[in-house]
């Protein structure tokens, strides 16, 4: 082989490695999920799911060593075994797992917004704005700001809060817990996290507008509680940068406007609407600011997606495997047996709501991902048995996920907060959010029982 031939082959190999595989894969999965929603054919969702399964197979070393990854394998093998034995139509079980692909698409797309805020130093501008709020009201301001930012950034909002408040505010435990509470409250307003998307997939008949009838009141209660039972947050004065603050707000409003357009005009679900809006807003900003070197801008976005994919691999495996579990629980024999057990064990009315809101989050404190009890219980617990509407049942599961994410030591929220604020995990969970979680659970029980009575 001549020297020129060797050089050509080496250059081709290097070019192949440098292709934006992260962007291409995410774009393909987003397109397939969108096609599935537009056409109503679950086959498109299956295409997206297979893309993620292929990615998990290639990068198995990154996720199989994690607790969530090992739980995912156990759940998937058990669900597939039951499917092969009992399911009259295995395609129904596989379809339930395929629909979870939109959840993974959401987790990837919102990651594209993170470098936009970091590169323009918008975190420092936000710190200057928060420093002007009175110390007693600052925790509530952090909650509201994190809640609003999470609608476009998802878990990236906690990263922005960490960059804004870490080493600038104290006590850091108060700042970190306030950011966590703001993020989970956003789940009541829109699918800002993958968990909300998973619950929405279980309740396709509950519209976004209907969700807000219970989500908005509970979110207001949660924000009020976060301000009332939290210590003041001290901050050093910071230089005010009005232009950067305005830019940050404009980006978030643009993303929110694109989300509403995709939902109301294009008739997309809120999960895919946020995915599409986040990706297009982030890429538009990246290409505008990087117009001098488009290749570098695309490489940066591709690198962010690659890093994000590595991080969410365990959760991706768990969501897909729990999708199989949801499908298994729809097998007629299992569904009838599980509903019979739930009727006899679970109390009715508000006591049943309280049992789920208090017990399931405590189970997750032991290190069990909330998707596992949700996949087991959601198909078996009926709205009628609790004396509420389907909207109330949806709201109950959203609050359950919220509380579990606040308390679980291995939740994505806890891990992101520990990394973003550089704070020990022992200061979070039950120690940092236990009182708030218990108070919110009690208030949500009453609100759901009264507002969602049939």
Helix (H, G, I), strand (E, B) or coil at 232: coil
| Chain center to CA of 232 | 28
Q: Is 369 left (phi over 0), alpha (psi -120 to 50) or beta?
A: beta
Report which secondary-structure segment, H or E, holds 257. Answer: helix 242-264
**Encoding tokens for residue 205?**
């008949």
Mind listing the pLDDT tens digit for each residue in 352-385? 999 999 988 998 886 566 777 787 777 778 888 8
Distance (Å, whole) CA 60 – CA 442: 41
Q: For 195-222, what is the mean pLDDT?
A: 86
β-bridge partners, 234: 170
Ranges of beta strands (E only) in 307-417 are none
* pLDDT recorded at residue 145: 87
pLDDT of 293 reads: 74
> Has residue 445 got a pLDDT over 90?
yes
Neighbouring CB atoms inside 10 A of 241's CB total: 18
Please write the tens of the pLDDT for every residue from 152-166: 667 767 777 887 787
Phi, psi of 236 (to 5 degrees): -75, 145
pLDDT of residue 118: 67
Confidence of residue 5 (pLDDT cuts 50, 70, 90): very low
Strands 169-170, 234-235: pairing is antiparallel
Distances (CA, A) of 67 to 64, 73, 219, 311, 317: 8, 10, 31, 13, 11
* Alpha-carbon distances of 240 from 130, 157, 163, 243, rounded to whole Å: 10, 21, 16, 9
The pLDDT, as a whole number, for residue 238 is: 67
Domains of the chain, by residue range, sit at 19-451
Quote the mean pLDDT of the chain. Answer: 81
**Neighbouring C-beta atoms of residue 167, cutoff 10 Å:** 11
Residue 89 to residues 127, 380, 391, Cα–Cα distance (Å): 55, 20, 29
- The distance from CA 98 to its chain's CA centroid, rounded to whole angstroms, is 18
- Position 29 pLDDT exceeds 60: yes
Is residue 236 within 8 Å of residue 131, measured between CB atoms? Answer: yes
Q: Using CA atoms, how far apart are residues 375 and 134, in angstroms rounded to an integer?
A: 43
Token look-up 């609100």 returns 447
Is 80 exceeded by the pLDDT of residue 351? yes
Q: Which pLDDT belongs to residue 8?
A: 38
Over the range 214-227, which residues count as b (16 or more CB within 10 Å of their CB) and which as e?
Answer: bbebbbebbbebbb
Q: At what angle do helices 122-130 and 242-264 cross, to 10 degrees?
A: 100
For residue 343, the model assigns a pLDDT of 67
Q: What are phi and psi of 234, to 5 degrees?
A: -85, 145
Distance of alpha carbon 326 from alpha carbon 165, whole angstroms: 40
pTM of the model: 0.69
Residues in the chain: 454
For the stretch 154-207, pLDDT in tens is 776 777 788 778 777 878 889 999 999 999 999 998 877 777 877 887 888 888
**pLDDT given for residue 227 in this prediction:** 86
Give the per-residue pLDDT at 368: 67
Question: Cβ contacts of residue 153 below 8 Å, gap of 6+?
Answer: 110, 113, 114, 117, 159, 160, 278
Q: Distance between CA atoms of 393 and 356, rounded to whole angstroms?
A: 11
């Amino acid at each position: 082989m001549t020297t020129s031939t060797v050089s050509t082959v080496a250059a081709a190999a290097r070019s192949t490695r440098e292709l934006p595989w992260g962007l291409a894969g995410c774009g393909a999965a987003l397109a397939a999920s969108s096609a599935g929603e537009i056409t109503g054919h679950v086959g498109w969702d299956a295409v997206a799911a297979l893309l993620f399964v292929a990615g998990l197979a290639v990068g198995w070393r990154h996720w199989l060593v994690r607790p969530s990854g090992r739980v995912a394998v156990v759940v998937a093998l058990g669900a597939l075994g039951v499917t092969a034995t009992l399911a009259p139509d295995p395609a129904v079980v596989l379809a339930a797992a395929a629909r979870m692909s939109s959840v993974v698409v959401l987790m990837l797309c919102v990651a594209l917004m993170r470098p936009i805020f970091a590169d323009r130093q918008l975190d420092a501008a936000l710190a200057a704005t928060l420093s002007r709020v009175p110390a007693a009201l600052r925790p509530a301001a952090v909650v509201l700001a994190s809640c609003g930012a999470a609608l476009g950034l998802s878990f990236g909002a906690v990263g922005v809060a960490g960059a804004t408040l870490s080493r600038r505010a104290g006590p850091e435990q108060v700042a970190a817990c306030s950011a966590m509470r703001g993020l989970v409250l956003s789940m009541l307003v829109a699918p800002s996290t993958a968990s909300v998307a998973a619950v929405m997939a279980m309740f396709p008949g509950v519209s976004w507008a209907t969700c807000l009838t219970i989500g908005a009141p509970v979110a207001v209660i949660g924000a009020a509680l976060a301000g009332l039972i939290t210590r003041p947050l001290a901050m050093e004065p910071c230089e005010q940068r009005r232009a950067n603050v305005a830019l940050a707000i404009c980006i978030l409003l643009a993303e929110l406007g694109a989300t509403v357009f995709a939902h109301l005009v294009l008739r997309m679900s809120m999960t895919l609407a946020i995915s599409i809006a986040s990706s297009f807003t982030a890429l538009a900003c990246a290409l505008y600011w990087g117009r001098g070197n488009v290749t570098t801008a695309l490489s940066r976005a591709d690198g962010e997606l690659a890093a994000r994919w590595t991080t969410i691999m365990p959760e991706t495996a768990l969501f897909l495997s729990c999708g199989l579990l949801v499908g298994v629980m729809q097998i007629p024999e299992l569904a009838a047996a599980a509903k019979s057990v739930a009727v006899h064990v679970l109390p009715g009315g508000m006591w049943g709501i309280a049992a789920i809101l208090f017990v399931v989050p405590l189970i997750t404190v032991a290190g069990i991902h909330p998707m596992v009890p949700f996949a087991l219980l959601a198909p078996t617990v009926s709205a009628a048995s609790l004396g509420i509407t389907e909207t109330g049942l949806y709201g109950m599961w959203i609050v359950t996920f919220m509380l579990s994410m606040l308390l679980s030591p291995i939740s994505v929220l806890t891990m992101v907060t520990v990394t973003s604020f550089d704070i020990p995990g022992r200061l979070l969970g039950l120690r940092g959010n236990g009182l708030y979680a218990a108070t919110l659970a009690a208030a949500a029980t009453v609100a759901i029982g009264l507002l969602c009575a049939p």
